[in-house]
A and B are shown apart, each in its own frame.
Chain A
């Protein structure tokens, strides 16, 4: 009786690297990988931790813009399956170990999901302007949805009632007679995040293609 499991394993062995057929990077690609991972990790650990502890509003927008730029620029140089997810995994692990308190867990999860989103889009469509725009829009929209989700998880649906109350009170103070409730405001913010994401995607694509490629390829 032949060992079918062994036969199957040997048949797939030449292409097999790791559990999910990960094609390993060559030396130059690994070098670029570490450069981008180091840069992203530095910004996440230093600026990210300061921003998340200071509770500055729209901090997710700033960090996601940088993440989006790194993901697009890196994929421009190393266009291999699952490379974006690998990059995000390394940065998320560093964020988890080197950052402070429970915020690290939250941010690491966000970084990983941003990588997952970029991987899904770049995996389906190669790196081009359209996919970069899509990555920009989704990666920038994600932190907004993440914060909504986490706030609902932590404080319950009541948090929206509180926000609504603050909004109404603010409208009364500045004498504004609008009928915008909290859900209309959320939709407006989603639209704004999407627009900014598209702009960041376009800028990242052209900057990586025209400027960064000259620096890194023609070293």
Chain B
């Protein structure tokens, strides 16, 4: 194979690996959107999240994230060195992500509250109020999304950003003070 062809092949492999990486990442992105829509803010939040904390899921994320990097590295032709690197990186990734997953799965809400209560006596009350405020803002955003004219809002945000932000904060503050 001539040097020119080799160079072309190398470039196309690099571009393909980047594109594949982006597509896989985007699939993950839409999956996350889908999950967010159904799980976040729902009453029984633990039911859906428990699967995502499993090491198998975390391992798949590790592989998907490292894959484009590995492809790009593999183009250099140093196959043995690349393989060694991949094994090292993945092993470290698996061990550490599993440790984090176990730590996250064992987080006890009551223990955290008890710890913060020593420093801030009103922590639990503030926490509950903040969660309800967050839900209130979320509901407001969902209901106002159907009413607003998107074109006008985008124009306002681009040409008069300060005025736009002032309006947003005014509406949020008004919504917050309603009850």
Contacts and interface: CB of A to CB of B under 8 A. Distances in A.
Contacts of A169: 14, 72, 75-76
Contacts, number: 167
B120 A154 contact: no
B133 A34 contact: yes
Interface of B: 11, 14, 25-26, 28-29, 31-33, 35-36, 39-41, 45, 49, 52-53, 57-58, 61, 65-66, 69, 72-73, 75-76, 85, 88-89, 92-93, 96-97, 100-101, 103-104, 107, 109, 112, 116, 118-123, 126-127, 129-131, 133-134, 136-138, 162, 165-166, 169-170, 172-173, 176-177
Contacts of A101: 49, 52-53, 57-58, 61, 101, 104
Contacts of B52: 100-101
Contacts of B101: 101-102
A159 B104 CA distance: 25
Nearest to A100: B52
Interface in A162-219: 162, 165-166, 169, 173, 207, 211-212, 215-216, 219
A15 to B, nearest CB: 14
Contact of B96 (A19, A50, A153): A153
Interface in A8-28: 17-20, 22, 24
Contact of A207 (B41, B49, B165): B165
B118 A18 contact: yes
11 contacts: A35-B176, A38-B130, A39-B137, A54-B25, A56-B29, A93-B127, A100-B36, A101-B61, A102-B100, A166-B69, A207-B162
Main secondary structure of the interface of A (DSSP, over half): helix
Interface stretch (A40-48, A114-122, A136-144): A40-48
B35 A94 contact: no
Interface of A: 17-20, 22, 24, 30, 33-35, 37-39, 41-42, 45-46, 49-50, 53-56, 86, 89-91, 93-94, 96-98, 100-102, 104-106, 153-156, 158-159, 161-162, 165-166, 169, 173, 207, 211-212, 215-216, 219
A165 B71 CA distance: 11
Contacts of A219: 173, 177
